[in-house]
Amino acid sequence: MTSSFRGASADSVAVLVDDLRGAVAGSPETAAAVAGELFSVAQTLRAEGSMRRFVSDVSVPDEAKSGLVGQVFGGKVAEATLTVVRSAVSRRWVSAGDLPNALEHLGVVAAVASAGDQAGRLSDELFAFAQAVKDAPELRDALSDPARTLEDKARLVRSLLDGKALPATTTLAVQSLAGTHRTVAVALAEYQKVAADVQDRGVATVRVARDLSGAERDRLADVLSRQYGRPVHLNLVVDPTVLGGIRVEIGDDVIDGTVSSRLDDARRRLAG
């Protein structure tokens, strides 16, 4: 979702993220509460079109927008959440739809912050859950079935993750069902990027024919970190089709050192 913000909306999100981090710093409990409430506020604004247009209209005085926000959400959300929402409606947005999207993004940032120094584990668990959804057709179908209610899908996710994953992981896995991204997998991938950004890390998906040892992972992470100028978190996928070697995807870059890739390259050279 972060890549969808442009112009004034991108500037507004950047300022709000900094403000949010300061507001929840050092308090995982506050961050967790704010995350859930921001998700709820974003959902409300998406459902209430007239309210969304009013609070994102630059011609409406900030005092009026702040007053409406206070009337609707005051007493229903924590003061920290209300402060963030009031700040958000006072800023400029390219489109009215950017405002709820931004509040959802801020909710993801707050959820990541609630994991504290376990943000790395959060990234691993989000990736593992995404792989589980991808590899289990029955689970994937259950989570995308339009005939099932959102509450029913959320119960299924909680039954799989509660007590086995961080609370922040469960929160974000449930949020991935909200339908604001094309699929659950796309939502989870976006959340992993946010988690990496919060830690000032890159994310690399590494496909290998066999699992790597701890030392091999450390060496690869070190090489990529030096190449990209910041720490890189590895998401490892054991893929039999790799046929030896590794394939690394980091951002828009692909580093393909697999046997199958070299064979394909050799065939192209021979055919050319």
What residues of the chain score a pLDDT lower than 50? none
Per-residue pLDDT at 264: 62
Per-residue pLDDT at 211: 84
Strand pairing report for 246-250 and 232-238: unpaired
Instruction: Give the count of beta carbons closer than 10 Å to the beta carbon of residue 20.
Output: 26
Q: How far apart (Å, rounded) are the C-alpha atoms in residues 9 and 98?
A: 7
Per-residue pLDDT at 94: 95
- Residue-wise pLDDT for 246-263, tens only, equals 888 887 788 887 765 555
> What is the pTM assigned to this prediction?
0.81
Q: Tokens for 257?
A: 């050192």
Per-residue pLDDT at 154: 96
- Residue-wise pLDDT for 197-212, tens only, equals 877 778 888 888 888 8
CA angle 87, 113, 171 (to 5 degrees): 95
